[in-house]
Amino acid sequence: MGRTYDGISPELAAFLTTQPVFFVGTAPRAGDGHINVSPKGLAGSFSVVDPATVAYLDLTGSGIETVAHLRENGRIVLMFCAFDAAPRIVRLHGTGSVLGPGDPDFAPLAAGFPDRPGVRSIIRVAVTRVSDSCGFGVPVMRYEADREKLPKWATAKGPESLAEYQAEKNARSIDGLPGIPE
């Protein structure tokens, strides 16, 4: 049976930070806009800041849906699934904010993450609801390793080419919402 919690306990934080993958869901305000679900991962890219706040590194990718949706309305849910241990699903609902490198809150949060190439921003979530459920329908799978393609790609591109890529590919969401600052 599912439960809700007053916040993120140390035990729950340990579960969250050891999951190799989590999923982020957002949606635009418009009813005909595209709902987005993105898988996230890479060791150390998620952090529990305090019992009511989490953050993760937003790395350069082909889309900008999460950032665009958060800038428009802030609604976000993060879902973590245990794939290799006791079955468990945890959802963190809240309000997300996008912190770019120029934001005064960026550097203090960035200090808690590994140095990764291609960081566009940090997504910080003020968690308003913490819940879990059994996860009996989630398959058992074995984690082998993080994929190294994204960090290698970002390193090979370099800062100038990454900025050009972001300006081209990350300026607008698929629904036309603003993405990275133009």
Work out the percent of the chain whose per-residue pLDDT is above 90: 96
- Rounded CA-CA distance 179/182 in Å is 8
Say yes or no to pLDDT of 93 above 80: yes
Helix (H, G, I), strand (E, B) or coil at 158: helix
pLDDT digits (tens, 9 = 90+) for 119-146: 999 999 999 999 999 999 999 999 999 9
pLDDT digits (tens, 9 = 90+) for 21-39: 999 999 999 999 999 999 9
What is the reported pTM? 0.95
3-169: CATH topology is Pnp Oxidase; Chain A (2.30.110)
Q: What are the sequence ranges of the domains in the chain?
A: 3-169
Confidence bin at 69 (pLDDT 50/70/90): very high
User: Count of CB atoms within 10 A of residue 58's CB?
Assistant: 24
